[in-house]
Chain A
Amino acid sequence: MIQLKVNGAEQSFDGDPEMPLLWYLRDVLALTGSKFGCGIGLCGACTVHVNGQATRSCVTAMRDTAGKEVTTVEGLEKNGLHPVQKAWMQINVPQCGYCQSGQIMQAAALLNSKKKPSDHEIDEAMSGNICRCGTYQRIRAAIKAAAGEMA
């Protein structure tokens, strides 16, 4: 039995400990904000926070989540919108939107560790997250806007 916290709520899991966290979130808990994109940690659509760190949930086995705190896009902000989400709306980042949960979780983790990231730092931090619609320049602008908001 694996005990973990998801968006603040205690959960226990007695299924296949090799099952990636992504499928537990999506298929078992029906938290579908985290997306399946590649299954091998190359696209970032599945990004969640595990103990505050941006983590690819599609390659994180349930056995490695025991005792951890998992935050998904649904739980990023308890009240209203997180500054990153607000910035995403202000800059009108999403097109199809499918990758944006992952982008937002990655960006929120970046801003937790770096208050005012440079272009280079943004690109480094976000380079694991693919957006096939090509919203990258707006993502960069939105991260800067959110950084200003959070400062």
Chain B
Amino acid sequence: MSAIENASRRRFLTGGIIAAGALVLGVRYYSRFSSGDTLPHDTNADHATLHPNVYLGIDPDGTVWIVASRSEMGTTSRTTLPLVVADELDADWKRVKIEQAIGDKRYGDQNTDGSHSIRSFYDAMREAGATARFMLIQAAAQQWGVPAAECETDLHVVVHRSTNRKAGYGELASAAAKLPVPKREELKFKAKSAWRYVGKGEVSYDLEALVTGKAIYGMDARVDGMVYASVEHPPVLGGKVKSYDDKEALKVAGVRQTVPIDPYQPPPAFQPLGGIAVIADNTWAAIQGRKKLNISWDNGANETYDSDAYKKELRETAHKPGKVVRNIGDADAVFAKAVKVYEADYYVPLLAHATMEPMVALAEFKDGKVTAWAPTQNPQAVQDIVSKELGIAKEDVICHVTLLGGGFGRKSKPDYVAEAAVLSKKVGRPVKVVWTREDDIKFDYYNAVASMYMKAALGADGKPTAWLQRSVFPPIPSIFDVNAVYGDPNHLQQGWTDIPYDLPNLRIENGPAKAHVRIGWLRSVANIYHAFGIQCFTDELAHAAGRDPVDYLLDVIGKPRTIDFKGVEYPNYGAPYDAYPWETGRLRHVTEMVAEKSGWGKRKHGKGADVGIAAHRSFLTYVATVVEVEVNDQGEVRIPRVDTVLDAGLVVNPEATRAQFEGAAVFGTSIVRTGEITATKGAINQSNFQDYPVARITEAPYQTNVYIVDSEAPPAGIGEPGVPPFVAAFCNAIYAATGKRVRDLPITKLGLS
């Protein structure tokens, strides 16, 4: 995707250029698709005078346009990736304008998930900036009749020091546009010492819009003539409408019509769930009309699903031999002779994303084409599913990406956008589908429920001589293949097959589990339950061995080494292993550093108060976290302090990174305190924040201190890696403070709140 070409030379949009957004009543109306257009290459970067690359354009007034092709859901990637371009270009950040890309494969992968925006696009962004800088230098050198090698750049200017000449980027843009685009091998990248922004960072480009209510999310998108829809989905996954009566619904003022949506054909993937939509003049009327629908459902096969029985089933499976996914030595032989053997079952229920902005999308079907405006993490997946649902070409689906009111992985799955497109075709108008919070909680793609069985034999020195771990969870591939029941390598790698301990005898297994709800990615995904199982069991063993948990953790991690995954299917988060090896020394380092920063073993804790530690690598980032808790006689838990140390390689935006790790601690707090989705007869029991509570200011950590390791390694993940070690460290702290071992989440099951 990082191939450089002079995009301005292959621009094929000649007419029907999309009108720029206009301001109406303080709300930005997005550009609309005009008939006769194919995918519009309509960014200002595309139209700029100098346009060496799809991500970048420079105009004669010196304005630098940078295209953000990844979605912004709060991680600041919309700012941080353009910062990399601006740095390599030597551009003045104040003269940079960021514009959001539509879904278009010319930008490469746009699925903003897996904490890899910086890792995967850092080089492409540098190349974009370096390419333009190269051309600007060449243009200046030609004008001045001096060798390009004698020219350099300073902030937004090319300079020739010996003759004291300088020219601004704007004045050079026209001349530079006439030059050939250099090959990557010709580019000269800036020395680290000359970096302006990388490693220093910037606040969000949208910061002022975010605090003034001017930022436009999917919920805020509007176009002329649009109507609003609220959809009653089948309460059980795979259910169908048997019959329905909409007489009362149609009597509600503002309701225009009802529209049935076909049930999905298994597997669900990103298809709309089906059901009955109420179309109205405003959101409120649509929701009111929906309440008056009388629908009879055929719930289908998942009606047998009951989460209590399912939990028992998972646990039983976890106690039986499973599929071996990694083996070292002979654990069973050691267990057979061992004197001290410890076993434990860990359990994490289904978890919902609960983004503050519920699912919402606006779509218009017109002349065989769809224009959508959506808070989506994956606009190309929108193109895919909408083209499939409506039987039109992918290129005839334009997906504008708004800001996202939270994503956490939910908005990678565009079922709700497809729903809006399907409805628009049926209604003949632009339709905005608004999910209620209840819809959001009940029709999520949940983080998998997981049961883990852990077993270890300890030698005389207290260290494990044999280790068995077996996990059972309905896998994410089940949304694409109803027969998928085993964990896939992409999720088994997440803190499970890559247990970083130096163990002479290790067996890792996975057992089958059939999904009865849609399973999907949620911030940190399988790392949440895997780190919980491994890091809490390690803490149990430390206490069993009478050892300090930090010392013990370092002991089991063992000497610094690169883990050899021979014989293990280990995708390494899609990154090449030579560039991103699993280095236990880096995990040791963050562990030692967090012990020091948190004052581990040096601070006195009062009655019912103590600390816990956990360390974990996920999304190629090494993190160790110490959580301090206070638990009173009523079982009320407070978190006065969290210390977390991360080694994410090169960190482009430290301020945004600290914010992500502060947020991860709060996200983890919700998981541990109250995170639990259950089902009865196939239908989800929870509905809103009263029965699916998330952490409030009074429950969140009071203070999270984030320390970033100064690292020479290439950039790794930021958005997700903070959650898994927090969850485990929090639970370990609860044990230290109360003697109550958390094996079943959430902690309400232990009478804690």
Contacts and interface: CB of A to CB of B under 8 A. Distances in A.
A32 B24 CA distance: 12
A112 B358 CA distance: 31
Interface in B247-302: 253-254, 282-285, 287-288
A95 B437 contact: no
B356 A45 contact: yes
Nearest to A37: B356
A68 interface: no
B284 A30 contact: no
A96 B655 CA distance: 15
A43 B434 contact: no
Contact of B354 (A40, A122, A127, A132): A132
Contacts of B283: 23, 26-27, 36
Contact of B213 (A38, A74, A93): A74
A143 to B, nearest CB: 10
Contacts of A20: 284
A104 B159 CA distance: 46
A104 to B, nearest CB: 6
Interface residues of B, number: 71
A32 B220 contact: yes
Interface of B: 24-27, 72-76, 203-204, 206-208, 210-217, 219-220, 222, 228, 253-254, 282-285, 287-288, 354-358, 403-408, 434, 436-437, 655, 659-660, 662-667, 669, 688-690, 694-698, 700-704
A55 interface: no
B659 A95 contact: yes
B211 A89 contact: yes
Contacts of A138: 659, 662
A127 B284 contact: no
Given A30-B222, A89-B203, A134 B665 contact: yes
A35 interface: yes
Contacts of B436: 39
Contacts of A95: 74-76, 659-660, 663
Nearest to A128: B696
**Interface size bracket, A side:** 35 or more
Contacts of A31: 25-26, 213
Nearest to B287: A39
Contacts of A128: 696
- 3 shortest interchain CB distances as A-B pairs: A33-B213, A134-B666, A98-B405
Contacts of A134: 662-667, 669, 695, 700
Contacts of A124: 698
Contacts of B228: 27
Interface of A: 15-16, 19-20, 23, 26-40, 42-43, 45, 72-74, 81, 85, 88-89, 92-101, 104, 122-124, 126-140
A98 B662 contact: no
Contacts of B704: 137
Contact of A123 (B669, B690, B698): B698
24 contacts: A15-B253, A23-B284, A29-B25, A30-B26, A32-B27, A32-B220, A32-B222, A36-B219, A39-B287, A43-B437, A43-B689, A89-B207, A94-B211, A95-B75, A96-B403, A97-B210, A100-B210, A101-B213, A126-B697, A127-B696, A132-B408, A134-B667, A136-B696, A139-B697
Contact of B210 (A15, A28, A94): A94
Contacts of B667: 132, 134
B659 A32 contact: no
Contacts of A35: 217, 219, 356-357, 405
Contacts of A72: 213
A126 B696 CA distance: 8
B212 A136 contact: no
A20 B287 CA distance: 12
A99 B406 CA distance: 10
B285 A16 contact: yes
A15 to B, nearest CB: 7
Contacts of B406: 96, 98, 132-133
Contact of B74 (A73, A74, A96): A96
B26 A74 contact: yes
B56 to A, nearest CB: 26
Contacts of A130: 356, 689, 694, 696
Contacts of B357: 35-37, 96, 98
Nearest to B667: A134
Contacts of B358: 36-37
Q: Of residues A27, A73, A99, A130, which shows the largest number of chain B Cβ atoms within 10 Å of its Cβ? A: A27
A124 to B, nearest CB: 8
Given A123-B698, A137-B704, A97 B206 contact: yes
A47 to B, nearest CB: 11
Given A85-B211, A95-B76, A97-B403, 10 more contacts: A16-B284, A32-B216, A35-B356, A38-B689, A74-B26, A81-B208, A89-B203, A96-B407, A98-B406, A139-B697
A37 B662 contact: no
Contact of A96 (B253, B287, B356, B697): B356
